[in-house]
Amino acid sequence: MDFPCQDSIRISESSALVGTPLRIPPFLSVTGDRSSLQESLSPFKEVQNVACGLLAVWAVTAASPVIAANQRLPPLSTDPGRCERAFVGNTIGQANGVYDKPIDLRFCDFTNEKSNLKGKSLAAALMSDAKFDGADMSEVVMSKAYAVGASFKGVDFSNAVIDRVNFGKANLKGAVFKNTVLSGSTFDEAQLEDAVFEDTIIGYIDLQKLCRNTSIGEEGRAVLGCR
- The whole-chain average pLDDT of the chain stands at 77
My answer on whether 199 and 211 are in the same domain is: yes
- In this structure, is residue 4 part of a structural domain? no
My answer on whether 113 and 53 are in the same domain is: no
Give dist(CA 168, CA 190) in Å, integer.
6
> Burial of 64 by CB count in 10 Å (0-12 exposed, 13-18 middle, 19+ buried)?
middle
User: Which residue has better confidence, 117 or 6?
Assistant: 117
Q: What is the mean pLDDT of residues 4-32?
A: 38
Query: Which of 51, 62, 53 has the alpha carbon at shortest distance from 12?
Result: 62
> Burial of 209 by CB count in 10 Å (0-12 exposed, 13-18 middle, 19+ buried)?
middle
- Residue pair 19/5 in contact by the 8 Å Cβ criterion: yes
Query: Which of 39, 73, 55 has the alpha carbon at shortest distance from 6?
Result: 55
Q: Is 10 strand, coil or helix?
A: strand
Q: Looking at this protein, which amino acid is placed at residue 110?
A: F
- In this structure, is residue 206 part of a structural domain? yes
Per the structure, the count of domains in the chain is 2
Question: Could you tell me the pLDDT band of residue 102, with boundaries at 50, 70 and 90?
Answer: confident
My answer on whether 173 and 199 are in the same domain is: yes
Give dist(CA 23, CA 3) in Å, integer.
11
- Give the CATH number, domain containing residue 74: 2.160.20.80
Query: What is the DSSP secondary structure assignment for residue 9, as one 8-state letter?
Result: E
> Where is average pLDDT lowest: 33-42, 101-110, 133-142?
33-42
Alpha helices in the chain (DSSP H): 34-63, 204-211, 218-224
My answer on whether 89 and 156 are in the same domain is: yes
Query: What is the DSSP secondary structure assignment for residue 74, as one 8-state letter?
Result: P
Query: What is the DSSP secondary structure assignment for residue 134, as one 8-state letter?
Result: T
Q: Domain residues for 49? A: 9-63
Q: What is the mean pLDDT of residues 18-37?
A: 41
Q: Which residues pair with 201 in a beta bridge?
A: 181
Q: What is the mean pLDDT of residues 202-224?
A: 96
My answer on whether 111 and 155 are in the same domain is: yes
- In this structure, is residue 25 part of a structural domain? yes
